[in-house]
Amino acid sequence: MKAPVVGSPPVVGHSIQFNYDALALIQRLQESKGDVFQLNILNEDVLLFLTPSATKQIFLDPDDNFSSKHGWEFSIGPTFENGLMLRDFDDHKYHRSLLQNSFRRDALDKYIHIIQPRIDSWIEEVKQKREFYLYKSIKQLMFNVAVELFFDEVDDTKLNHLNQLFINSIKPATTIVRSPYPMTRMKKGLKARVELLEYFQEKSDKIDLSKETLFADLVKTNNEEAGLTNFEIAEHMIFLLLAAHDTTTSTLTSSIHFLAGDEKYQNKVKTESSTLSKTDISDLKNGIIGEALFNEAIRKYPPVPFSPRWVVRDAELDGYEIPKNTYIAAGPLVLHNDERYWEDPLAFNPERFEDPTITHEAYFPFAGGAHTCLGKFFASYLFKNVIYKLVDNFQVISTNEELKINPAPIPNPRKDVKIQVS
């Protein structure tokens, strides 16, 4: 069977509408074309699959039919080349095994302790100001937490500069002009990549291996087993930083905004928090209400809303032909907001996740298979650590502003909102 093709304007295809509101666009097309159709994004034809069964197949990929490297290359490839998600099959397995060491349980335990001073000083700052711009403040916090954890970098001027380089290096992911002409996002992004790589290579030379940072862990593993160059290590590190901070930022943003508008749920989280240590991973693991909030935030606004793949050999999916050398994609964002699988999907309702024994067939926030998110446990512990500290430190967290989130390419607010605390 061949999938229907959606007609689109030349050159820009569906990119502009996609960047503006991907969920509305795809749901509208889905109504007329069904669960499988081809559209044009960033000058490429992409066959989108919107059923739980095809999504699972795409992620599990038992026959190695789908390349994540070439799938992601057309968006984040230019600036995050050779990051873990931009590697395939045996090569990917090998590099993942090197990084995996840094995500063991005891390592995560260590990390949660390392980041406490940074989170505590953020809480103090918020206490003094009594209000904060939600997205801006959380993004800065998550970036600083990640850089400190990964590299032990605590110089704020450097942190701000690095943060700006990251902002520049992620922008080419969605720009329609794909060549690095002067003044374009692509040109700026590539320049930022070079600067970031130089900074992290320099760090590799000077690294203090007695420090318990993620970077030191990776360098140690490398010295013992691998022999990667400083450049390769730097490439891993910039990808990891990207994967770690934008994802946790969007998750905390939507959750804090929800809590600010729901006093009852705020109290529920507060009650749970009073029984838990904020830094003991086994305890954080038991935080069911906190976990439900986390799960709901990544349902409604999955930080990776679509996952593209490149087909390396002729295959079939859900009865549709998929020829080699074409793009396909899974769309967790669309599945997570599909009323065939979720009751009232538009509502932000963490209660749907409070019974951890219930599984959801249309839920793929961390993808699956070989590329399953490596940081998913760390993300959940970090999330709960921040949320519990927030509710512990403030009697009231409130806002009177609505938060409108643009769900793709990475969920971010159309306009930042202010949160008041007392």
Residues of this chain that interact with ligand HEM (CB under 6 A) are 68, 84-85, 96, 240, 243-244, 247-248, 251, 298, 303-304, 307, 365-367, 371, 373-375, 378-379
Nearer CB in complex with ligand HEM: 298/391: 298
For 193-229, b/e burial (b = at least 16 CB within 10 A) is beebbebbbebbeebeeeeebbbbbbbebbeeeeebe
Which CB sits closer to ligand HEM, 40 or 251? Answer: 251
Question: In b/e form, how buried is each residue of 296-333, taking b as 16+ CB within 10 angstroms?
Answer: bbbbbbbbbbbbbbbbbeebebbebebeeebbbbbbbb
Q: How far is the CB of 7 from ligand HEM (least distance, A)?
A: 27
Amino acid at 15: S
Comparison of 188 and 371: residue with beta carbon closer to ligand HEM: 371
CA distance 287 to 356: 11
- CA–chain centroid gap for 297, Å, is 12
Q: Using an 8 Å Cβ cutoff, are 88 and 67 in contact?
A: yes
What gap in Å lies between CA 29 and CA 23, rounded to an integer? Answer: 10
Least distance CB 186 / ligand HEM (angstroms): 22
**Residue in the structure block whose two tokens are 């770690």:** 244
Beta carbon of residue 66, minimum distance to ligand HEM (angstroms, whole number): 10
Of 63 and 124, nearer to ligand HEM (C-beta) is: 63
Element (H, E) at 241: helix 230-260
Q: Which residues pair with 321 in a beta bridge?
A: 316
Asked if 255 and 134 count as a contact pair (C-beta separation under 8 A), the reply is: no
Q: Which is nearer to ligand HEM, 137 or 295 (CB)?
A: 295
Q: Give the residue nearest to ligand HEM (CB).
A: 375
Q: What is the nearest approach in angstroms of ligand HEM to the Cβ of residue 229?
A: 19
Whose Cβ is closer to ligand HEM: residue 94's or residue 271's?
94
Closest distance of CB 43 from ligand HEM, Å: 20
In whole angstroms, the minimum distance from the beta carbon of 280 to ligand HEM comes to 19
Which CB atom, from 26 or from 84, has the smaller least distance to ligand HEM?
84
Report, in Å, the least distance between residue 113 CB and ligand HEM: 16
**Least distance from ligand HEM to the Cβ atom of residue 351, Å:** 19
Nearest-approach distance from CB 240 to ligand HEM, in angstroms: 6
Residues 6+ apart with CB under 8 A from 186: 78, 172, 175, 177, 178, 179, 180
Residue 302 CA to residue 314 CA, distance in Å, equals: 30
Please identify, using beta-carbon distances, which residue of 12 and 114 lies nearer to ligand HEM. Answer: 114
Both tokens assigned to 274: 């009073």
Helices 376-393, 263-274: inter-axial angle, 10-degree rounding:
100
Residues 33, 6: contact at Cβ < 8 Å? yes
Toward ligand HEM, which CB reaches closer, 65 or 421?
65
Question: Least distance (Å) from ligand HEM to the CB of residue 140?
Answer: 16
Nearest of 362, 417, 339, 420 to residue 134 by alpha carbon: 417
| Nearest residue (CB) to ligand HEM, 96 versus 187 | 96
Contact of 317 with 47, CB cutoff 8 Å: no
